[in-house]
Amino acid sequence: MATLASVSPAARSPWWERWHVSRYVQLGLAHALLLSYTLLAVGPVLLLVINAFKNRRAIFENPYAIALPGDPTFSMAGFETVLGNSNFPLYFRNSVIVVLAALLLILWFGSMAAFALSEYEFRGNTLLGLYLSIGIMIPIRLGSVSLIELMVNLGLINTLAALILVYTANGLPLAIFVLSSFMREVPRDLKDAARVDGASEYRIYALILPLIRPALGTIAVFNLIPVWNDLWFPLILASSEPVKTVTLGTQVFVGQFANDYNAMLASMTISMVPIIVLYIIFSRQLIRGLTSGAVK
């Protein structure tokens, strides 16, 4: 059997070098592949936004055409219905409250638990960390029946508090797992120097948070999108009109015999805006968090 040393350098080189593919061709192929994937991912979103500004007839006749102001097919009827003749602003406010409260609790409790696991050695430390990590592998929807019973016993059915508690519990395992890894990378000399200066453990915890900002941004993005887009728990825990979220509120435009497609597309377009804006804000932190944690 031929050993690696006996194989010629040309045979060990990548296929594009053996086939004498130029660097410009390689970059062109890579960019073409990335552009194709981008169009595949962004295409449905652009199609949704384009049709949100057209009348009902134009949506079905030519869904790929762009309607500009002044065009006969241009229409703002969907946005007028959503913002003026429905409770969508209330649904939007409920979603914002749930998302912000859940993210705050996830980052707060998750970072405190991660600090304790990474900083203090005690019996069962590793076992406790593994136990918390199990929550990443087990979908929380498997416990839907038990969660409903718990919320009924607590009197939290049809309240935003029920959604906040469920989303917080769902996001904590991943937050603790990721943040504890980053906190272990903080130099111990820095923390010991703070203790020598008389800083309390809470003060040291507050000093560490800015150093793991990329990890916090990563956790925020990973929990932001699923919580905002979730339909399952609002449907079973908070389905009454005053506490409906955006995802559940969009269903009011779907009727038994007729659908208001203009309002439906307009509501989806509006609901995408906060996610896009927040993703742009946290994107740099997300990339830094993912690349910094690649070897952890």
- How far is residue 1 from each of residues 4, 8, 11, 12, 14, measured CA to CA in Å? 10, 14, 16, 16, 22
In this prediction the pTM is: 0.80
The pLDDT assigned to 266 comes to: 87
Q: Based on the fold, state whether residues 159 and 271 are members of the same structural domain.
A: yes
Please give the structure tokens belonging to residue 119. 């900083």
285/27 Cα distance (integer angstroms): 27
pLDDT higher at 70 or 1: 70
Please give the structure tokens belonging to residue 78. 């969907």
Q: Based on the fold, state whether residues 154 and 221 are members of the same structural domain.
A: yes
Q: Based on the fold, state whether residues 226 and 202 are members of the same structural domain.
A: yes
The DSSP call for residue 197 is T
For residue 222, the number of C-alpha atoms closer than 13 Å in the C-beta half-sphere is 22
Give the pLDDT confidence of 140-184 residue by residue, as tens digits: 888 889 999 999 999 999 999 999 999 999 999 989 888 888 888
Give the domain range for residue 20: 14-75
Q: Based on the fold, state whether residues 41 and 134 are members of the same structural domain.
A: no
Last residue of a domain, one of 57, 75, 93: 75
Give domain status of residue 6, yes or no: no
Give domain status of residue 5, yes or no: no
Give domain status of residue 168, yes or no: yes
Give the pLDDT confidence of 244-293 residue by residue, as tens digits: 999 888 887 776 555 778 888 888 888 888 888 877 777 776 666 666 54
Alpha-helical runs (H) found in 120-159? 125-137, 144-154
Residue 294 pLDDT exceeds 50 = no
Q: Based on the fold, state whether residues 29 and 101 are members of the same structural domain.
A: no
Q: Based on the fold, state whether residues 161 and 63 are members of the same structural domain.
A: no
Give domain status of residue 99, yes or no: yes
Closest by CA to 263, choosing from 103, 45, 79, 66, is 79
202/25 Cα distance (integer angstroms): 55
Last residue of a domain, one of 25, 54, 75: 75
296/285 Cα distance (integer angstroms): 17
The average pLDDT across 37-53 equals 87
Give domain status of residue 3, yes or no: no
Give domain status of residue 4, yes or no: no
Give the pLDDT confidence of 96-146 residue by residue, as tens digits: 999 999 999 999 999 998 888 888 877 877 788 788 778 788 888 888 899
User: How many domains is the chain partitioned into structurally?
Assistant: 2
222/75 Cα distance (integer angstroms): 35
Q: Based on the fold, state whether residues 235 and 265 are members of the same structural domain.
A: yes
